[in-house]
Amino acid sequence: MKQEWFEMKDVKNRYFDKAVWIPLRAVHTISSEGKYGYIGYKEEFFGVGSLSVPLNKRADASKLGWTDIGIGIIHDHSSYVDDDGTYHQADIYEDHGGKFTGLHLVLSQRGNSSEHDVWHLHQDFVIALGLKREDDVWVCPDEGYIDVVHLRRREDNSPYLLEVRAEFLKDYLCARGMALYITSYRSRRIVVENVGFINWPENPISVLQEGYRWEGRIYEIHEGGTPFGAKTAVFHVSRTDVDPEEDVPTFDFPTDENVVSKSWTKEDKGRKLYVVEGKFWRNEWIEPSKVSPRVRGDKIKSTVFFITDSSGTRESADSLDKHGRWLWFKPEVIMALAHRRGGGLQWYTRDTGAVKCSPDYNVHFGINRLGLVNVYAKDISFLPEWQQRIWAGYNVSPDGKVSEELLSAQVKAIPASTKAPEPFLGKGIDLLNEITWRKFGFNLFREHKQKSQLISICHRFRSVDLQGFLSLAKDLARLTADSIDTTALQKLVKPPKGMKWGSLKSLENVLATYVAPEKARSLLSPLVGIYELRHADAHLPSSELRESLNLVGVDDNAPFVFQGFMLLHACVSSLYSIAEVFDQET
């Protein structure tokens, strides 16, 4: 152990105002080893109390310290009524001198001997910032469900730390015209047999500087923890005037006649050990931000820029609503948006739809002939800046013109009559199950526990490269070939003795009882090709890969997004064609 550990130089150089996460309350034993009073004991403790204060009352609040708003038993928050009938709220701190009141953003509700304390985050803070509590995390649904507040607990479920993301706290403080006053305490101590490694010029030693106080101390103890050389006085007192034979015994106040007492002194004999400890107190201010876009709705100048023309001109998001124009994005942007929590993807026509990365923020998009995504620039300007940053990360120079179907909808006001295959994938599976249950008494596709999730991610934007294309094929195979009830099908058409049929072959032979074998094989070809692709990888010889692609009807010269579309279109078409065959009257 080194002397520097007790002097806490590492802590002295850290300020909460510069941190990403700021503690509002802490009662945290960071580490504890061994048992106090014995060699090997080592402990570090960290505590925080805080109070939000009106900006014009900072000078008065600066006189407060750890003993005023720290974490001691007197600082648990509770309501009370004083002698003149005045009610005092639990969330309001009232200066004893009556000079100011402050607001507790965290309230500690004391439990009983069987219950842990409960920490409450102030409801105004939660509502003002639009937070939602999920277990011990408060998230902001309107900002991509980002974590804003964390409540940490010990193994016994008692709380020890509540911290908040700085940018949200400072936004709230700005709107309230407040600053946050934090008082913190940290201690480090050990029990040793020799203190030769400490060379403090005095004991105890104290350093007082603006904003903090540090103390170092060494003191002697007996092994076990009692002060070295100390004596303990023990007093024993008993009554002589209570008759245990009485049914309802009573007794009066004690007197010399009815009280017997004795006393003695106890002296510990354990060997001498030493406690070395350092203590650090600091009071500091968390400044509000200069603007409050979240709570107060302040307008701030955008720091996000987009390419707006073929020469590569970059313009601020603030200027996107100045002219009627479109922006171009890599197709990967759809995955980055739709697959976030709160995100989603829906389709209007074959090549247009809406995407969102957060509820209530749908953006109309189109796909152009190169597989790039187009969006009307003004629609991007209406998005919150955090969403604009996501879009900007995939922004590219104009190429391949604007999506024809998007132009038709947004300029001519004549939406295309085409359909995207994605919405019909789940419907096709359900339709086939409905028909086969009605005709044969079983569902063609067994229920997959991840069916809904798989259907939601089976879209063409998974296919932005070969690996993504093959991954999409794998999930389509899981929904189709892998989910077919082969046993039920083989009860309709049994394989010859000694021959094994897979799921698709079994389905083909049942279909062949309704249509010609060649027609049945043709109807299943896309599903067979998809099944073969699921076993492929990016290193498959091109000739073998092309054979599988030909079965599905995918042009490997097309942009990958279009290959994904072809894959889905072939799969959905096959499902509906099979349904049409089974649904015919026999």
For residues 362 and 470, membership in a common domain is answered with no
**Backbone angle region of 389, left / alpha / beta, with phi > 0 → left and psi within -120 to 50 → alpha:** alpha
Which neighbouring-strand residues pair with 396?
A: 328
CB-CB neighbours of 96 under 10 Å: 6
What pLDDT is attached to residue 159? Answer: 96
Residue 294 lies in a domain: no
Q: Which two tokens stand for residue 528?
A: 């067979």
CB 416 within 8 A of CB 405: yes
- Which letter, b or e, does each residue of 198-237 get, where b requires 16 or more Cβ atoms within 10 Å of its Cβ? bebeeeeeeeeeeebbbbbbbeebbbebbebeeeeeeeee
pLDDT per residue as tens digits for the range 539-585: 566 777 888 899 999 999 999 999 999 999 999 999 999 999 999 86
Distant-in-sequence, close-in-space partners of 174: CB < 8 Å, separation ≥ 6? 288, 289, 290, 291, 292, 295, 296
For residues 103 and 69, membership in a common domain is answered with yes
Residue 535 lies in a domain: yes
The average pLDDT across 69-77 equals 72
Q: Which two tokens stand for residue 51?
A: 């109070």
Q: What percentage of the chain exceeds 70 in pLDDT?
A: 98
Q: For 52, which DSSP code? A: E
CB-CB neighbours of 473 under 10 Å: 30
7: three-class secondary structure by DSSP: helix
**Domain span at 110:** 3-79+88-227+274-286
Q: What percentage of the chain exceeds 90 in pLDDT?
A: 81
Q: Which two tokens stand for residue 532?
A: 């073969």
The yes-or-no verdict on residue 75 having pLDDT over 80 is no
Angle (CA) 428-431-432 rounded to 5° is: 90
What pLDDT is attached to residue 38? Answer: 94
- Residue 318, amino acid: D
Write down the mean pLDDT value for the chain. 93
Residue 551 lies in a domain: yes
Residue 416 lies in a domain: no
Distance, CA of 102 to CA of 58 (rounded, Å): 10
Residue 298 lies in a domain: no
The yes-or-no verdict on residue 379 having pLDDT over 80 is yes
For residues 138 and 205, membership in a common domain is answered with yes
What pLDDT is attached to residue 196? Answer: 92
Residue 429 lies in a domain: yes
What pLDDT is attached to residue 540? Answer: 61
The average pLDDT across 266-276 equals 90
The average pLDDT across 180-201 equals 96
For residues 222 and 241, membership in a common domain is answered with no
Residue 126 lies in a domain: yes
What pLDDT is attached to residue 538? Answer: 53
For residues 168 and 64, membership in a common domain is answered with yes
Distance, CA of 442 to CA of 487 (rounded, Å): 11
For residues 485 and 524, membership in a common domain is answered with yes
Distance, CA of 151 to CA of 160 (rounded, Å): 8
Pairing relationship of beta strands 231-239 and 259-267 according to DSSP bridges = antiparallel
Number of domains into which the chain is organized? 4
Residue 537's pLDDT band, with cuts at 50, 70 and 90, is low
What pLDDT is attached to residue 268? Answer: 83
pLDDT per residue as tens digits for the range 422-470: 999 999 999 999 999 999 999 999 988 889 999 999 999 999 999 999 9
For residues 74 and 146, membership in a common domain is answered with yes
Residue 288's pLDDT band, with cuts at 50, 70 and 90, is very high
The average pLDDT across 256-265 equals 91
Residue 34 lies in a domain: yes
Listed in sequence order, the DSSP H helices in 197-351 are: 332-338
Q: Which two tokens stand for residue 217?
A: 């101390």
For residues 345 and 476, membership in a common domain is answered with no
For residues 149 and 167, membership in a common domain is answered with yes
For residues 116 and 11, membership in a common domain is answered with yes
Q: Which of 67-71, 379-383, 575-579 has the lowest mean pLDDT?
A: 67-71
* pTM reported for the whole predicted model: 0.86
CA distances from 68 to 26, 119, 172, 208 (A): 15, 19, 24, 18
What pLDDT is attached to residue 498? Answer: 87
Sign of the C-alpha dihedral computed for residues 337, 340, 341 and 345 taken in this order: positive
CA distances from 282 to 12, 47, 210 (A): 9, 11, 9
For residues 218 and 261, membership in a common domain is answered with no
For residues 168 and 47, membership in a common domain is answered with yes
Q: Which two tokens stand for residue 179?
A: 């600053």
